[in-house]
Amino acid sequence: MTALPPGPADLDGASSTPLHPAAREVLLAALDRGYADPRRLHRPGREARLLLDNAREATAEALGVRPDEVTFAPSGTHAVHLGLLGLVRGSRRGTRVVHPPVEHSAVRHAVAWGAESGEVGVDRSGRVDEAGLVEGARSPGVAAVALQTANHEVGTVQPVGAVELPDEVPLFTDACASMGRLPLPSGWAAAAGSAHKWGGPAGVGVLLVRKRARWRNPFPGDDRVDERSTGFENVPAVLAAAASLQAVVAERDEVNARQHGLVDVVRHRVAAEVPDVEVVGDPDHRLPHLVTFSCLYVDGEALVTELDRRGFGIASGSACTASTLTPSHVLEAMGVLTHGNVRLSLQRDTTRAQVDAFCDALPEVVAEIRSRVGL
Partner 1 sequence: MTPPPDRRHDVALELDCREVPCPMPVIELARHLRDVEVGELLAVVAHDPAAAVDVPAWCRMKGQHYVGADVTDDGAPRYVVRRVG
Please give the Cα distance from 261 to 287 (Å, whole number). Answer: 12
Catalytic residue status for 320: yes
Binding mask of the shown chain, residues 230 to 269, with x at each position contacting partner 1 by CB under 8 A: ----------------------------------------
- The type of residue at 325 is L
In the complex, the smallest distance separating the C-beta of residue 332 from partner 1, rounded to whole angstroms, is 5
Asked if 337 interacts with partner 1 (CB under 8 A), we say yes
Q: Which of 176, 295, 320, 359 is catalytic?
A: 320
Residue 91 to residue 169: CA distance in whole angstroms:
8
Of residues 291 through 310, those in contact with partner 1 by CB under 8 A are 294, 296-299
d(CA 310, CA 362): 10
- Whole-angstrom distance, CA of residue 94 vs CA of residue 168: 11
Name the CA radius of gyration of the chain, rounded. Answer: 21
Torsions phi, psi for 156 (to 5 deg): -60, 130
Q: Which is nearer to partner 1, 29 or 320 (CB)?
A: 320
Residue 335 within binding range of partner 1, rule CB under 8 A = yes
**Min CB(157)–partner 1 separation in Å:** 23
The strand ranges marked E within 152-200 are 171-174, 190-194
Nearest CB to partner 1, comparing residues 177 and 337: 337
315 is a site residue for partner 1 (CB under 8 A): no
Q: Give the nearer residue to partner 1 in terms of CB position, either 237 or 302.
A: 302
**Options 34-42, 45-53, 215-223, 319-327: segment touching partner 1 (CB under 8 A):** 319-327
CA–CA distance, 294 with 358 (Å, rounded to integer): 15
Binding mask 193-222 for partner 1 (x = CB under 8 A): ------------------------------
CA–CA gap between residue 11 and residue 17 (Å, rounded): 10
Q: Is 339 in the site for partner 1 (CB under 8 A)?
A: yes
Options 91, 148, 156, 338; binder of partner 1; rule CB under 8 A: 338
Contacts of 64 (CB under 8 A, 6+ apart): 183, 184
Buried b (16+ CB within 10 A) or exposed e, 46-63: ebbbebbebbbebbbbbb
Which residue from 320, 322, 361, 367 is in contact with partner 1, where contact means CB under 8 A? 320
Cα–Cα dist 131/145, whole Å? 13
Q: Could you tell me which stretch among 72-80, 134-142, 204-212, 338-346 binds partner 1 (CB under 8 A)?
A: 338-346
Degrees, nearest 5: CA angle 192-165-77: 15
Residue 332 touching partner 1 (CB under 8 A): yes
Residues in 108-147 at the binding interface with partner 1, rule: CB under 8 A: none
DSSP state, 126?
S
Report the C-alpha gap between 259 and 194 in whole angstroms: 20
# binding residues, partner 1 (CB under 8 A): 23
Catalytic residues: 320
* Site residues, partner 1 (CB under 8 A): 276, 278, 294, 296-299, 318-320, 326-327, 331-332, 335-340, 373-375
